[in-house]
């Protein structure tokens, strides 16, 4: 199959690039090795919209962070993603820390960050009554906030699919060859989730050879390998794992903003934050690992995270933890984001090494990459396209009157599937049928929050699996959790 542009990787970067390019009259494919989008770093991170005072002025990290932070409110509005602009504090606990705050503040001012100020202890304690009273000062950033990273990723890809982008799931890139100015990408299926294909946007790989004029490498931790396939081995990705502990919504109001600790000689510190959906999150640590897909948590590191978080807020209660998880950062050996057409391969664009603040930067990076592609291909805007999604307010977030109204109109809302998060049957069916819809139990969970609550799917997972099986038209025991081979159940007992 021949495409104008082929994007490798459906993380938040690949998805936003797909969305930006989907305005133009051309054929675009996104190749994703997993069953869903946002399956790696984009799905497991802190969900912070960073203000941008952190990165060194002049770097790509700094530039795209600042622009991305300014773009985020409108992007979230367009994609109907909740952006809680709750602000952030970097907390200092001693003179050394106070000095770090000044450096960060000056850095931010030089970079063009708005809404920055150094604030005293009383200011912080008024806003954050549960903060450790031992703090001395803080750097306050009013423009920072929290979003759901996977929901942003899903929405960006959903938007791209609405504009005609083809998402090819469960497909690994095995080689890239350039012949007569065209890229020949050989692929291999990594799995084959069964579905009768009546769901929109579920494009199966039609052949294992994809041809494209332009290739965009957004392959996350594997982007160095993809780049090497195209003849550019100028950088390496060092996978660095970060672990998190997520707490019940009852703990979500423990803190009101993102609370960082100043990096000191003792360590980098970890953050304590409310999530966009109202939980409490602590983490991440950072450890270099050898396996790029080595997502796991460890006893000692989780213990260390908890103990470090207590420095920010002594009231964190481990009995209220509901899950632990980890994500893997794509740390580049160059020290900065790697974004641009490869010097060694024309038409091959690397968007690699996108670690933090990658989530914040993603819409800004996409806009920049759009410009690069424009310089290569002759692109015309489509007559008809959209940059906005229709919003569906979650039942959980509705007022009593809204609930009454929607239940009156649509019987699908009259059955609650997930008790903890009050998710209705209709919302789950919608999530399966939406562009970039769910095909796995975790896919439903990330789109609707069914199974995201304190019982972690204990009650609702059998029901979610039944609905998936009905909508996808496959037997119950072929439903998977998150990956192609993560079948949840075994055989029927009477088989």
Partner 1 sequence: MIKYFDLAVIGGGPAGMAAALTAYEDGVKNIVILERDDSLGGILKQCIHNGFGLHIFKEELTGPEYALRFTEKIKQTDITVMLNTMVVSATGDKTLYAVNPDYGFLTIKAKAIILAMGCRERPRGALRIPGTNTAGIFTAGTAQRFVNMEGILPGSKAVILGSGDIGLIMARRLTLEGIKVQGVYEIMSYPGGLTRNIVQCLDDFDIPLHLSTTIVSIHGKDRITGVTTAKVDANMIPIKGTEEFVECDTLLLSVGLIPENELTEQMGIKMYNMTSGAYVDQDLETDADGVFACGNVLHVHDLVDNVTMEGQRAASSAEEYLKKDENIKKDMPSILVKPGNGIRYVLPQHIYLKGEEEKIRIYFRSKDRYSDAVIKATADGGTIGKKKVIRLIPSEMEYVEINTKDISGISDITIEVEA
329 lies in the binding site for partner 1 (CB under 8 A): no
491 lies in the binding site for partner 1 (CB under 8 A): yes
Give min distance, CB of 131 to partner 1, in A.
24
- Nearest-angstrom CA–CA distance, 99 and 97: 5
- Nearest-angstrom CA–CA distance, 28 and 478: 31
State which of positions 387-446 bind partner 1 (CB under 8 A).
400, 403-404, 406-408, 411, 413-416, 419-420, 422, 424
Cβ proximity to partner 1, 77 vs 293, nearer residue: 293
486 lies in the binding site for partner 1 (CB under 8 A): yes
Q: Are 200 and 437 in contact (CB under 8 A)?
A: yes
Q: Work out which of 114, 325, 377, 387 binds partner 1, going by CB under 8 A.
A: 325
Q: Work out which of 94, 195, 298, 304 binds partner 1, going by CB under 8 A.
A: 298
293 lies in the binding site for partner 1 (CB under 8 A): yes
321-357 as b/e, with b when 16 or more CB fall inside 10 Å? bbebbbbbbbbbeeeebbbebbeebebbbbbbbbbbb
Give min distance, CB of 493 to partner 1, in A.
5
Cβ proximity to partner 1, 384 vs 494, nearer residue: 494
Give min distance, CB of 47 to partner 1, in A.
17
Cis peptide upstream of residue 284 (ω within 30 degrees of 0): yes
- List the beta strands (DSSP E) in 57-198: 88-92, 116-120, 137-141, 145-146, 166-168, 171-179, 182-189
- Nearest-angstrom CA–CA distance, 431 and 420: 18
Binding mask 442-471 for partner 1 (x = CB under 8 A): ------------xxxxxx-xx---------
62 lies in the binding site for partner 1 (CB under 8 A): no
* Residues paired with 321 in a beta bridge: 247
Quick one: which of 194, 488, 223 has its CA closest to 331?
223
How many CB atoms within 10 Å of residue 196? 10
483 lies in the binding site for partner 1 (CB under 8 A): yes
Give min distance, CB of 485 to partner 1, in A.
4
Cβ proximity to partner 1, 243 vs 330, nearer residue: 243
- Nearest-angstrom CA–CA distance, 244 and 324: 6
Give min distance, CB of 415 to partner 1, in A.
6
Tell me the CA distances in angstroms from 73 to 22, 76, 149, 360, 386, one per residue in order: 21, 5, 14, 11, 18
Bin 47: left if φ > 0, else alpha if -120 < ψ < 50, else beta.
left
The number of angstroms, rounded, from the C-alpha of 56 to the middle of its chain's C-alpha atoms is 24
Give min distance, CB of 280 to partner 1, in A.
13
Binding mask 247-286 for partner 1 (x = CB under 8 A): ---x------------------------------------
Phi, psi of 367 (to 5 degrees): -65, -40
Active-site residue numbers? 50
Angle at 172 between CA 19 and CA 332, to 5 degrees: 70
Cβ proximity to partner 1, 27 vs 454, nearer residue: 454
- Side-chain half-sphere exposure of 115, counting CA atoms within 13 A: 17
Cβ proximity to partner 1, 85 vs 249, nearer residue: 249
Cβ proximity to partner 1, 236 vs 403, nearer residue: 403
Cβ proximity to partner 1, 36 vs 143, nearer residue: 36
Residues at the site binding partner 1, with contacts judged by CB under 8 A: 245-246, 250, 293, 295-299, 302, 318-319, 321-325, 400, 403-404, 406-408, 411, 413-416, 419-420, 422, 424, 454-459, 461-462, 476-477, 480-494
């Amino acid at each position: 199959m021949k495409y104008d542009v082929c994007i490798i990787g459906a993380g938040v970067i690949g998805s936003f690039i797909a969305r930006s390019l989907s305005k133009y009259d051309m054929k675009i494919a996104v190749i994703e090795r997993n069953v869903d989008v946002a399956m790696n770093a984009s799905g497991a991170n802190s969900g912070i919209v960073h203000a941008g005072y952190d990165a060194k002025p002049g770097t790509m990290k700094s530039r795209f962070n600042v622009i991305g932070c300014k773009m985020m409110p409108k992007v979230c509005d367009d994609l109907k993603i909740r952006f809680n602009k709750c602000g952030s504090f970097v907390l200092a606990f001693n003179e050394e820390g106070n000095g770090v705050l000044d450096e960060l503040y000056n850095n931010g001012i030089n970079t063009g960050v708005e809404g920055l100020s150094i604030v005293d202890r009383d200011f912080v304690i008024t806003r954050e009554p549960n903060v450790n009273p031992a703090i001395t000062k803080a750097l306050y950033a009013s423009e920072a906030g929290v979003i759901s990273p996977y929901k942003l990723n899903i929405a960006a890809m959903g938007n791209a699919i609405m504009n005609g982008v083809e998402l090819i799931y469960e497909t690994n890139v095995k080689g890239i060859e350039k012949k007569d100015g065209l890229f020949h990408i050989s692929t291999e299926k990594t799995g084959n989730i069964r579905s009768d294909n009546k769901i929109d946007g579920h494009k199966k790989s039609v052949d294992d050879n994809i041809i494209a004029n332009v290739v965009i490498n957004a392959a996350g931790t594997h982007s160095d390998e993809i780049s090497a396939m195209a003849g550019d081995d100028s950088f390496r990705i060092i996978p660095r794992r970060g672990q998190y502990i997520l707490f019940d919504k009852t703990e979500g109001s423990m803190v009101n903003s993102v609370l960082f600790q100043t990096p000191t000689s003792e360590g980098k510190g970890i953050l304590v934050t409310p999530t966009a959906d109202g939980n409490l999150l602590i983490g991440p640590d950072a450890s270099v690992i050898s396996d790029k897909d080595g997502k796991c948590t460890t006893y000692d590191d989780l213990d260390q995270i908890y103990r470090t978080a207590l420095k920010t807020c002594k009231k964190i209660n481990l009995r209220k933890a509901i899950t632990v998880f980890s994500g893997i950062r794509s740390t580049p050996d160059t020290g900065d984001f790697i974004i641009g057409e490869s010097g060694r391969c024309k038409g091959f664009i690397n968007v690699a090494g996108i670690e933090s603040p990658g989530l914040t930067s993603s819409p800004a990076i996409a806009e920049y990459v759009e410009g690069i592609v424009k310089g290569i291909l002759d692109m015309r805007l489509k007559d008809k396209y959209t940059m906005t999604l229709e919003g569906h307010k979650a039942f959980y977030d509705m007022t009593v009157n809204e609930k009454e109204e929607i239940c009156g109109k649509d019987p699908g809302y009259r059955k609650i599937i997930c008790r903890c998060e009050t998710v209705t049957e209709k919302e789950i069916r919608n999530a399966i049928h939406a562009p970039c819809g769910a095909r796995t139990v975790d896919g439903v969970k990330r789109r609707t929050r069914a199974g995201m609550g304190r019982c972690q799917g204990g009650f609702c997972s059998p029901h979610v699996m039944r609905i998936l099986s009905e909508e996808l038209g496959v037997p119950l025991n072929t439903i998977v959790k998150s990956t192609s081979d993560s079948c949840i159940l075994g055989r029927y007992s009477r088989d």
